[in-house]
Structure 1
Amino acid sequence: MKKYLIAGLLVWLPLAITIWVLHSVLGLMDDVFGALISGTQAVLPAAAHESLEALRKIPGLGVVVMIAGLLLTGVFAANIFGQWALTRANLLLIKIPIVKSIYSSVKQVSDTLFSSSGNAFREAVLVQYPRQGSWTIAFVTGKPGGEAAIHLSGDYLSVYVPTTPNPTSGFFLMVPRSDVIVLGMSVDEALKYVISMGVVAPPLPVPAAEPARNLPG
């Protein structure tokens, strides 16, 4: 019976987690859409409230509106006027106490992670952690900078070591480039390997005549 219970769990657990994640994301979008409707009702006459409430009850409309809003924001940010307006808005936000610290930190991280020209999470590597002889998977995020780089003699890399099974938390390390082993697996494959606690091993890379990928220089 134990064998059958485990087999059933392996079938339903991935599906249940997938549904839970999607439900959480869609629920968040619906909540944001509901907040927008409430804010709109506050500035419109009472005669329009009934129509807005009807929109709130349409299933999935919040998701469609949020995705459309993101696309329109992207189009706006991609042109010259949009870039100028966003620059002015950023200058305003970084002058507000408390907001300045939170907004600046989050913006720096998001710009680094999602920038198409950045090096963050572009490479999966092996590093020795938490002690010599014990290896774990990490992701290259760049090179040390600022005051930290001044105190480090030699060639170092900045890496992020995710925790298992939740890779959103982890450790930031600065390690010598010579102590890093570059992996042929993709970042997605490495994340699956970490999340599965080593159970789901990615396939071995196919040998190729091309030179190995270089780490950020």
Structure 2
Amino acid sequence: MKKYLVAGLLVWLPLAITVWVMLWLLGLMDGVFSSLLSVGKAVLPVSADATIERLRDTRFLGAVVMLALLLVTGVFATNIFGQWWVRQWDRVMNRIPLVKSIYSSVKQVSDTLFSSSGNAFREAVLVQYPHQGSWTIAFVTGRPASEVAAHLDGEHIGLYVPTTPNPTSGFFLIMPRSAIRPLHMSVDEALKYIISMGVVAPPPPAPPALPVAARN
């Protein structure tokens, strides 16, 4: 009986967690859409209240609208005209007290993490943490700031050490490059390995291809 229960759990648990995460994301998008409708209700005439309430009651409409809005915004922001407007928007946000501190910090982090030309989270490495002889997986985030690097001897790199099983929290470390060991596993494989607490091991790296002369 226990064997069959565990087998059934292994079949349904990944699906249940996937559905739960997707429903959470859809609910989040619906919440943002509902907030926008509330703003519209406050500025539009009373005759539009019935239409706004119908839109609010339409399930998952918010997710569709938000995805479409992101797509349209992305298309707009990638052309020359849209880039000019984005720069003007950044200038306005960076002139508002208190808001500019939050906005500029979040923008710098998001541009670094999601930019295709960035180097953050492009490499998984092995480091000794939290003490000698104890190893963990970390992700390279870049080089230390110039002021920090001026106080360090030799080449150092910034590392993010995620916690398990929640990788969204962790620790930022600056370590000598000589103290890290590069890994062949991809960032996705390393994240799966961390989240599963070492249960889901990545596949072994493929052996290097032999020269043609050696194969003959």
Determine helix, strand or coil for the equivalent of 1:126: strand
- Please name the residue that 1:181 is paired with: 181
Question: Deviating runs (4+, > 6 A) in structure 1?
Answer: none
- Please name the residue that 1:143 is paired with: 143
Cα offset for 1:3?
4.6
1:66 aligns to 2:66 (yes or no) = yes
Cα offset for 1:4?
4.6
1:76 aligns to 2:76 (yes or no) = yes
The one-letter code matched in structure 1 to 2:48 is: A
- Please name the residue that 1:127 is paired with: 127
Determine helix, strand or coil for the equivalent of 2:119: coil
Cα offset for 1:2?
4.8
Determine helix, strand or coil for the equivalent of 1:109: helix
- Please name the residue that 1:31 is paired with: 31
- Please name the residue that 1:94 is paired with: 94
Supply the distance in 2 between the matched residues of 1:209 and 1:173 (Cα, whole angstroms). Answer: 36
Determine helix, strand or coil for the equivalent of 1:103: helix
The one-letter code matched in structure 1 to 2:125 is: V
Cα offset for 1:42?
1.7
The one-letter code matched in structure 1 to 2:12 is: W
- Please name the residue that 2:206 is paired with: 206
The one-letter code matched in structure 2 to 1:133 is: G
Supply the distance in 2 between the matched residues of 1:38 and 1:162 (Cα, whole angstroms). Answer: 38
Cα offset for 1:209?
4.6
Cα offset for 1:23?
1.1
Note the residue ranges of structure 1 that are not aligned, 5 or more in a row: 211-217
The one-letter code matched in structure 2 to 1:171 is: F
Supply the distance in 2 between the matched residues of 1:207 and 1:117 (Cα, whole angstroms). Answer: 29
- Please name the residue that 1:117 is paired with: 117
- Please name the residue that 2:213 is paired with: none
Q: Percent identity?
A: 69
- Please name the residue that 2:191 is paired with: 191
Note the residue ranges of structure 2 that are not aligned, 5 or more in a row: 211-216
Cα offset for 1:95?
2.1
Supply the distance in 2 between the matched residues of 1:158 and 1:76 (Cα, whole angstroms). Answer: 34
- Please name the residue that 1:214 is paired with: none
More deviation, 91-100/6-15? 6-15
Count of matched residue positions in the alignment of Structure 1 and Structure 2:
210
More deviation, 14-23/127-136? 14-23
Cα offset for 1:12?
3.1
CA deviations 1:57-89 (Å, max 9, x no partner) are: 222211111011001111111112221211121
The one-letter code matched in structure 1 to 2:67 is: I
- Please name the residue that 1:160 is paired with: 160
